[in-house]
């Protein structure tokens, strides 16, 4: 299993980001094919209380790397990826993780 981790840095306008994320982006992401599970979260902080480098994290799980690539190659995957970049006024990091354990 692999997951695509999408880490949104703090946006320039948090309220506008949240509006776009909730009203536009999540419906786009829900249409990406072959996703087995989605985890969403708003970053609460860091263990030592310093400012967190991210505002939100999304985790999209796929059966394997080939399935992830297939999903991102679809129109729905492309639209969601481009939209993520467009609304991330503070920047966004996307990484692929080989899941060793998910319990």
What is the CA angle 55-97-57, rounded to 5? 15
Average pLDDT over residues 20-37: 97
* Domain regions of the chain by residue span: 2-98
Average pLDDT over residues 30-35: 97
Q: In angstroms, rounded to a whole number, what is the distance separating the alpha carbons of residues 54 and 45?
A: 9
Write the CATH number of the domain with boundaries 2-98.
3.30.70.100
Q: In this model, does residue 24 exceed pLDDT 90?
A: yes
Task: Please list, in sequence order, all residues whose beta carbon lies within 8 angstroms of the beta carbon of residue 54, skipping any fewer than 6 positions away.
Answer: 7, 8, 9, 10, 43, 93
pLDDT of 102 reads 83
């Amino acid at each position: 299993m692999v997951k695509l981790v999408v880490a949104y840095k703090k946006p320039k306008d948090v309220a506008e980001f949240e509006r776009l994320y909730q009203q536009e982006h999540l419906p786009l992401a829900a249409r990406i094919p072959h996703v087995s599970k989605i985890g969403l979260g708003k970053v609460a902080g860091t263990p030592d209380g310093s400012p967190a480098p991210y505002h939100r994290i999304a985790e999209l799980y796929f059966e394997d790397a080939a399935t992830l690539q297939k999903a991102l190659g679809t129109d729905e995957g492309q639209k969601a990826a481009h939209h993520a970049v467009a609304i991330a006024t503070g920047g966004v990091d996307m990484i692929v993780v080989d899941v060793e354990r998910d319990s």
